[in-house]
Amino acid sequence: MAKLVLGSDAGREAWLEHRRTGITASEIAIILGLVPGQWGSPLALYLTKRGEIGEDDRDDDAMALGRYLEDFVCQRFAEQHPEMVVAGDGLTLWAHAEHPWMLATPDRLVFDDEHGYSEWGDSLTAVLEAKTSNSKDEWGDGGTDEIPVRYRCQVLWQMHVMGVERAWVACLFLQSRTVRSYEVTLDAAAEADIELMIAAAEEFLRRIAEGDPPDVDWTEATSHALKQLHPDIVDREVTIPVRLATRYRRAHASLNLAKERYKLAENEIRQRLGNGRVVSDPAGNVVATRQRYDVPARVIPHRAYAVDKLIMKREGEENGS
């Protein structure tokens, strides 16, 4: 079984310091480039691990809501699976029994009720991760192992660290207000994925040790990290290659052109929509909906105004008005 590193009563500084010594389940997905760009990138993680920038403590309502709903999702899972014992608080850091740089913080641990649960006893059978989602994109039917690939990486890493052959992912789908459970088992494909992740993690640790940073990418996380790395401005001039200067200028021009095309398409839709609310294509698929509402002066002093916008239907959202 894995080794307990830090309990839920450990301070934040101790937690962050120990995380820098290894790779956690959420970080392996970042290393593989599978995390949405606003929340992580290999370069941002590299700079954090080397102590060149601080931990990214940005937060938003969606992340706060996910943390708030974690207890509810785990409780619903336990109710749906009374044959299991679900324990833990998601605040305990574990390390692999033989490779202490492999770290994990499962939301919950799952024990086999037949043997009875004793304090972190030998009946540990699985890890449990709680998720929330606005969309059913990348999710299969409940009871399958069809989950987003970044979550698959996360739970496979946890399984490896904790020494178990099963993981459960319970997801609350916000649109339908239902909790579905997914089961990931340690089969040949999973073992191959774990080997790939270990190799990627070892290569990432080598980069950290040798000061060999990953390439810059387009993500917001990388932009945020580079701003943190150089917060001050010094009055000096830096020369960049001609190709980079040309690429920058062309990308900027393309961005402006894309904005113009987007506004043209939106205005053409508005002309056809008139005072309607829902926009559909010939097959009956909803393309967008129009929203209009007044913002009173108390929100922005001395300035009342009306908001009128088209909301594009995202991929994976349920059809309808």
Burial group, residue 154, by CB count within 10 angstroms (0-12, 13-18, 19+):
buried
Name 171's bridge partners. 131, 180
Query: Which has more pLDDT, 133 or 303?
Result: 133
Answer for the pair 148, 139: CB distance below 8 angstroms, yes or no.
yes
pLDDT one-digit tens code per residue, 144-156: 999 999 999 999 9
Q: Three-class SS of residue 291?
A: strand
pLDDT one-digit tens code per residue, 3-36: 888 877 777 778 778 888 899 999 999 999 998 7
pLDDT one-digit tens code per residue, 37-63: 677 899 999 999 999 988 876 666 777
Tokens standing for residue 318: 């349920």
For residue 236, the one-letter residue type is: R
d(CA 139, CA 141): 7
**Average pLDDT in the chain:** 87
Sheet of 108-112, strand order: 84-87, 108-112, 124-133, 166-173, 178-185
Query: Which has more pLDDT, 303 or 262?
Result: 262
- b/e string for 37-50 if b means 16 or more Cβ within 10 A? eebbbbbbbbbbbe
Q: Look up the pTM and report it.
A: 0.80
